[in-house]
């Protein structure tokens, strides 16, 4: 079952048009920048205790309530979760496991689309 491999919320994805303003705001709330990388855009992971926000400067943020892009669930076996999601027939954003060079050894992830067009990302830090 999917929950056999799920450990809870890993992060919340928040697009931004101004990374410096985002970092400044969240630092005022007590968050720290714990990881930063530039791939296609600048990405910062901001953490306050067990809450992590992944903010990425895509210059396409809608800047209104409801602007959170995705909720990521931390998992221990991305391939097993992917197979389970496929088996129960949920809708994928892309029908594949992707990877990014975040953290020390990278991450693998995939996203599914919920009933309200919300994105749920399953993510495994390698």
Q: Specify the pLDDT at position 60.
A: 83
β-pairing, 51-57 vs 42-48, is antiparallel
Q: Which of 43, 33, 122 is nearest to 83 (CA)?
A: 122
Structure tokens at 74: 């931390």
CA angle 14, 16, 20 (to 5 degrees): 115
Which residues is 8 bridged to in the sheet? 74
At residue 116, the pLDDT reads 75
Q: Rounded to whole angstroms, how far apart are CA atoms 35 and 41? A: 14
> Is CATH 3.30.565.40 correct for 2-125?
no
Using the predicted structure, report yes or no on whether residue 52 has a pLDDT greater than 90. yes
* Model pLDDT, residue 57: 92
Res 61 pLDDT > 80 = yes
Q: Global pTM?
A: 0.82
Q: What is the structure's pLDDT at 66?
A: 78
Average pLDDT for 69-77: 92
Query: Which tokens sit at 34?
Result: 């714990």
Q: What is the pLDDT of residue 62?
A: 83
Residue 110, pLDDT above cutoff 90: yes
Residue percentage of the chain with pLDDT more than 90: 71
Distance (Å, rounded) from C-alpha 1 to C-alpha 85?
Answer: 9
Whether pLDDT at 23 is above 90: yes
């Amino acid at each position: 079952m999917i929950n056999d491999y799920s450990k809870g919320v890993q992060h919340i994805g928040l697009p931004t048009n101004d990374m410096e303003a985002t970092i400044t705001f969240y630092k005022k709330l007590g968050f720290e920048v714990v990881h930063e990388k530039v791939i296609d855009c600048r990405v910062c992971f901001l953490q306050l205790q067990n809450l992590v926000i992944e903010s990425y400067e895509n210059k396409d943020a809608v800047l209104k309530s409801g602007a959170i892009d995705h909720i990521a669930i931390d998992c221990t076996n991305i391939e097993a979760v992917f197979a389970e999601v496929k088996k129960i027939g949920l809708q994928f954003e892309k029908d594949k496991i992707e990877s990014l060079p975040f953290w020390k050894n990278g991450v693998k992830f995939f996203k599914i689309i919920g009933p309200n067009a919300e994105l749920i990302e399953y993510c495994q830090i390698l």
